[in-house]
Structure 1
Amino acid sequence: MRVGIEIREDGLAQVTLRRGDAGNAIDLEMARGLLDAARACAREDVRAVLLTAEGKSFCVGGDLGEFSRLSGDALEKHLFAVTDALHDALRTFAGLDAPMVAAVQGAVAGAGIGLAAAADVTLAADNASFTAAYTGIGYSPDAGVSWFLPRLVGPKRALDLLLTNRRTTASEAAAIGLVSRTVAPGELAAEASRTADALLRGPTAAFGATRRLVSAGLTSELGPHLDREARALATAAGGEEGREGVAAFLGKRAPDFPRVAPQH
Structure 2
Amino acid sequence: MTSLDGLSHVRLEGDVLRIAIATADNGTSLDFDGVSQGTTALQAVAAGTLAARSVLLIGEGANFCAGGNVRAFAAAENRGEFVDYLARTLHDFVRAIDAVEVPVVAAVQGWAAGAGMSLVCASDVSIGGPSTKLRPAYPSIGYTPDGGMSWTLPRIVGIAKAREILLTDAIIGGDEAVRLGILSRLVGDDEIREEALRVARTLAAGPTAAYAGIKRLLAQSGQRSLSEQLDAETASISAAAAGPTGREGVDAFVEKRRADFSAGQ
Q: After TM superposition, is the score higher than 0.5?
A: yes
Task: Give the secondary-structure state (helix, strand or coil) at the position aligned to 1:16.
Answer: strand
Partners of 1:237 and 1:3 lie apart in 2 by 40
The answer to whether 1:143 aligns with 2:179 is no
**Tell me, which stretches of 5 or more residues in structure 1 are unaligned?**
none
Matched with 2:105 is: 101
Calculate the aligned-residue CA RMSD, in Å.
1.8
**Tell me, which stretches of 5 or more residues in structure 2 are unaligned?**
1-5
Specify whether residues 141 and 18 from structure 1 end up closer, same or farther in structure 2 by C-alpha distance, changes over 3 A only: closer
**After superposition, what is the alpha-carbon deviation per residue over 1:13-63, rounded to whole angstroms, capped at 9, x for unaligned?**
111234223233125444323323423433312101111111111111111
Matched AA of 1:56: A
Partners of 1:46 and 1:260 lie apart in 2 by 14
Please say which of residues 251-260 and 165-174 is displaced more in the overlay: 251-260
- The 5 A counterparts of 1:1-264 are 4-8=9-13, 10-26=14-30, 28-42=32-46, 43-71=49-77, 74-260=78-264
Question: TM-score, normalized by length of structure 1?
Answer: 0.91
Specify whether residues 58 and 140 from structure 1 end up closer, same or farther in structure 2 by C-alpha distance, changes over 3 A only: same
Partners of 2:163 and 2:36 lie apart in 1 by 29
Partners of 1:170 and 1:250 lie apart in 2 by 41
Deviation at 1:79, TM superposition (A): 1.9
The count of residues paired between Structure 1 and Structure 2 equals 258
Matched AA of 1:44: L
Question: TM-score, normalized by length of structure 2?
Answer: 0.91
Task: Give the secondary-structure state (helix, strand or coil) at the position aligned to 2:240.
Answer: helix
Matched AA of 2:81: K
Task: Give the secondary-structure state (helix, strand or coil) at the position aligned to 1:83.
Answer: helix
Partners of 2:155 and 2:24 lie apart in 1 by 29
- The answer to whether the 8 A contact 1:124-1:181 is kept is yes
Please say which of residues 226-235 and 21-30 is displaced more in the overlay: 21-30
Deviation at 1:131, TM superposition (A): 0.8
- Structure 1's consecutive aligned runs of 4 or more residues displaced over 6 angstroms after TM superposition are none
Please say which of residues 147-156 and 88-97 is displaced more in the overlay: 88-97
Q: What fraction of aligned residue pairs are identical, expressed as a percent?
A: 36
